[in-house]
Chain A
Amino acid sequence: GQSLEQPSEVTAVEGAIVQINCTYQTSGFYGLSWYQQHDGGAPTFLSYNALDGLEETGRFSSFLSRSDSYGYLLLQELQMKDSASYFCAAYGQNFVFGPGTRLSVLP
């Protein structure tokens, strides 16, 4: 089977840096991806790691370690609009999503 774990909630202040971790168990693993979802909205793609290491896209970075079945999303210079749920997703036999981490950014 496939399963992913991530923290349920994270709180940080504007301008801070926050890291959201994700551990996974899956068969036929291709890579790990991250999605953002605002309340009432659709999930939107943030990043994808197929290889070990860090991928940087603006204020967001994502890391993958295949040997540890672990990845994280790093959000820098937090803004109020970053308050949302963040999901890691393992690409394997199909796309399976983690339970989501609700990020609250405080002023």
Chain B
Amino acid sequence: NAGVMQNPRHLVRRRGQEARLRCSPVKGHSHVYWYRQLPEEGLKFMVYLQKENIIDESGMPKERFSAEFPKEGPSILRIQQVVRGDSAAYFCASSPEKGKSPLHFGNGTRLTVT
């Protein structure tokens, strides 16, 4: 079974452009979490989605950021009009059920805004 697949692995964007980060969870997993990590820092929760629904987006900025997990296809984290402060590693994780199973992480997308 393939693990969590994230792409691209590295993404460079100029200020003002849009960034789209993709995450394909482990097959059969319907719970997806997105985290942001700055160098030398912890994993900051952004959003929790279950197929077609946003369950908790309390960690995601209200402006410029959006996330989706459609019935078919990968979960997408979208950042519009990127700024230098958006530069970070973005990790996606999936689990088969809420609260009882470990999270399986992807290798992350390193976003650099120039």
| A residues at B contact (CB < 8 Å) | 30-31, 33, 35, 41-45, 48, 50, 87, 89, 91-100
Task: Specify which chain A residues have a CB less than 8 angstroms from the CB of B69 in the assembled complex.
Answer: none
Interface stretch (choices B20-28, B80-88, B104-112): B104-112
For the A-B complex, the count of residue pairs with Cβ-Cβ distances under 8 Å equals 54
A31 touches B42 (CB 8 A): no
Most buried by B among A44, A89, A92, A94: A94
Task: Specify which chain A residues have a CB less than 8 angstroms from the CB of B99 in the assembled complex.
Answer: 30-31, 91-92
A-B CB contact pairs (8 Å), 17 listed: A31-B99, A31-B100, A33-B102, A35-B105, A41-B107, A42-B106, A43-B93, A87-B43, A91-B100, A92-B99, A93-B56, A94-B55, A95-B45, A95-B103, A96-B45, A99-B41, A99-B42
CB nearest to B48 among chain A residues: A94
A33–B95 alpha-carbon span in the complex (Å): 13
Q: What is the CB-to-nearest-CB distance from A12 to chain B, in angstroms, rounded to a whole number?
A: 20
Q: With A31-B99, A91-B99 given, is the CB distance from A42 to B105 under 8 Å? A: yes
A41–B104 alpha-carbon span in the complex (Å): 13
Task: Specify which chain B residues have a CB less than 8 angstroms from the CB of A100 in the assembled complex.
Answer: 41-43
Q: What is the CB-to-nearest-CB distance from A47 to chain B, in angstroms, rounded to a whole number?
A: 9
Task: Specify which chain B residues have a CB less than 8 angstroms from the CB of A99 in the assembled complex.
Answer: 41-42
A98–B44 alpha-carbon span in the complex (Å): 9
A93–B35 alpha-carbon span in the complex (Å): 15
B42 touches A45 (CB 8 A): no
Most buried by B among A33, A42, A44, A48: A42
Task: Specify which chain B residues have a CB less than 8 angstroms from the CB of A41 in the assembled complex.
Answer: 107
Task: Specify which chain A residues have a CB less than 8 angstroms from the CB of B103 in the assembled complex.
Answer: 33, 35, 43, 45, 89, 95
